[in-house]
Amino acid sequence: MTDTLNVQLDDRSYPIYFNQDDSTLKATIHDLNQVNQACFLITDSKLHGLYQAYIESLGIPQTHVYIVPEGEPSKSVEQYEKILSFLASHSANRDAVIFAFGGGVIGDLAGFVAASYLRGINFYQIPTSLLAMVDSSVGGKTGINLPEGKNLVGAFWQPQAVFINQRFLETLPKNQFASGIAEVIKYGLIADKSFFNKLLSIENLNFDEPTLPSIIRRCCEIKAEVVANDEKEIANANGRALLNLGHTFGHAIENVAGYGDYLHGEAIAVGIHLACMLSEITYPTFSKTDTEQTTQLLVRNGLPILLKKPLSIKALNQAISRDKKNRASGIRFVLMETSGNAQTKEGIDEKIINTLWKKVGAVD
């Protein structure tokens, strides 16, 4: 049985399929093959090793499968260029389509390739990590990293469809699963207090949690609604920027620590802790108890709330200043007035930020 949620974007609307079999995906590939649209698949070395037989069963020629090294460093100009050359060497034309089989790194990289090859070809998302299922595969943000910062090069390019199958979570390492939980918690904090309370009631969220299908779907519902209202993050306040709760801090941590030291969700978890503390200072309606509830939930699910090792405050603030979410009016943070109600906020005194950095283990 397949459950469907539509992301409403006028002529760029598309379905998210939630299912436990591959019938819809295989039918899609079959139909593309029938009209001679060349299908390509991009994945990483670890996933290819785990799911080679599965990939071969999809009906995509093995010569059309491109494998990048596992991990965040593959979200690079180098791998981007190599995949473009791979497509060109196989004479891929504007009717060609790309399937991104992997987590957030693969989805972002493959999506940006699709957005730019021949000025744009179609692509589909097959997320294999919790983080990708609840967040990065939905909404059309694609991109790669530069040494200067995360996702500084990219494009808004919506997929044709997203195929979410929880079977892939069974082989997901525990720390990778926890990385996705950080994004799940984010959705409760920014938009749904009752959903956040539901997460509080679960002692430890695992891949076999009976309510996980509804949790994944709720995250996708929230993101689909936000994206439909502000697809390209151009709203002067709030809008799609709210999805970046914890990310201004988290991206800085990833950049300064060196891509690979932190899983994305680990850095975001520390960023959420910082955002909670800043919310306490900014809004009297967000209490210390709210922060404590959030940090306890993060820790209970295997996520850090402090830096793994000291990082330079100066370097962290420099990274924040390069963040793509900033506007001419200043650095934009996402804060909570209350749990379940987030707002964007600018004009925060750097001295306050420095004090908070110290609380999580950064140094002068």
Catalytic residue IDs? 119, 141, 183, 223, 233, 240, 244, 247, 251, 264
* DSSP secondary structure letters along 194-208: HHHHHHHH-SS--TT
Q: How far apart are CA 70 and CA 111, in angstroms?
A: 17
Q: Let me know: does 176 contact 44? Beta carbons within 8 Å.
A: no
3-class SS at 131? helix
Asked whether 232 and 215 are in contact (CB, 8 A), the reply is no
- CA gap 78, 73 in Å, rounded: 10
**End-to-end CA, the chain:** 55
Residues making up the chain, counted from first to last? 364
273's CB contacts (< 8 A; 6+ apart) are 246, 291, 294, 295, 298, 305, 306, 360
> Across the beta sheet with 97-102, what order do the strands follow?
3-7, 14-18, 162-164, 122-127, 97-102, 39-44, 65-68
Taking phi over 0 as left and psi of -120 to 50 as alpha, with beta for the rest, 199 belongs to alpha
**Residue 2 and residue 22 in contact, taking contact as beta carbons nearer than 8 Å:** no
CA nearest neighbour of 154 among 75, 36, 243, 225 = 75
Say how far apart CA 275 and CA 268 lie, in whole Å: 10
Alpha-carbon distance of 209 to 221, in angstroms, equals 19
**Any long-range contacts for 48-54 (C-beta under 8 Å, 24+ apart)?**
50/171, 51/101, 51/128, 51/168
Return the number of other C-beta atoms located less than 10 Å from residue 140's C-beta: 20
* Whole-Å CA distances, 353 to 117, 225, 277: 40, 31, 10
